[in-house]
Amino acid sequence: MPPDAVPSVLVVDDDPRVLETVTALLRAEGYRTRVAGGGREALQAIASDRPACLVLDAAMPTLSGLEVVRALRRAGDDLPVVMLSARAAPIDKMAGYDEGVDIYVDKSEDPLVLRAAVRRVLQRHRQAPTRYEHPGLVIDSDRWTCAVDGRAVVLPRRLFTLLHLLASQPGRVLRKEQIVYQVWGVNSDVYNRAVDNAVIELRRLLGDRSDHPRFVHTVRGIGYKFEVSE
């Protein structure tokens, strides 16, 4: 399997011993791993090189694991998260699931449980389609290709990411702040106007009219949505 096809797992914990133990466990399973020593570092790592899965300690200073998950979910990011914690009372698990954690694992459990949890969230994530076919538009994220009415359209990487983000959720209105996070990154200093300019250029390349768009529609005061109109 090519290296870039091997799932990458970002392991986040403020205890170096936990980082060493968990990364060794996951590498033995064949995953690529990266580490972060805290919540802010984790958000930076996700923005710079998005992993396939996040294994996250719940209790960390400065920015806790729950706060990291909250930031991701509020930005509309569905990155799979396995919460790893020494606190596993029902109320702790409920707090994690309420914030958007996929699986909550007690640190005292057998390492096989963590391995199974990571495998499960990755299996779920892989079920997401990589090819979207809409009337007049086909997007294939595996090949980074786009076609309008059978005509190949070459899009810069960022505009392709923007189109893919919108087209994967037809009818859903995405706020400009969500788009900035998912296209430019969580630590980007890009402003909302950059989103408007990107949409203008995307429409131009797609042959979409701004006064009567066929694919990318403006929702005034909020953001944009994908919807096919004739």
pLDDT tens track for 9-67: 999 999 999 999 999 989 988 899 999 999 999 999 998 888 999 999 988 888 999 99
pLDDT of 203 reads 96
**Residue with more model confidence, 140 or 205:** 205
Measured distance CA(63)–CA(42) in Å, rounded: 10
Q: Is CATH 1.10.10.10 the classification given to domain 131-226?
A: yes
pLDDT of 50 reads 86
pTM of the entire predicted model: 0.58
Q: Is CATH 3.40.50.2300 the classification given to domain 3-126?
A: yes
pLDDT beyond 50 at 129: yes
Task: Grade residue 190 by pLDDT with cuts at 50, 70 and 90.
Answer: low
The full set of domain ranges for the chain reads 3-126, 131-226
**Sequential DSSP letters for 127-193:** TS-SEEEETTEEEETTTTEEEETTEE----HHHHHHHHHHHTSTT--EEHHHHIIIII-TT----HH
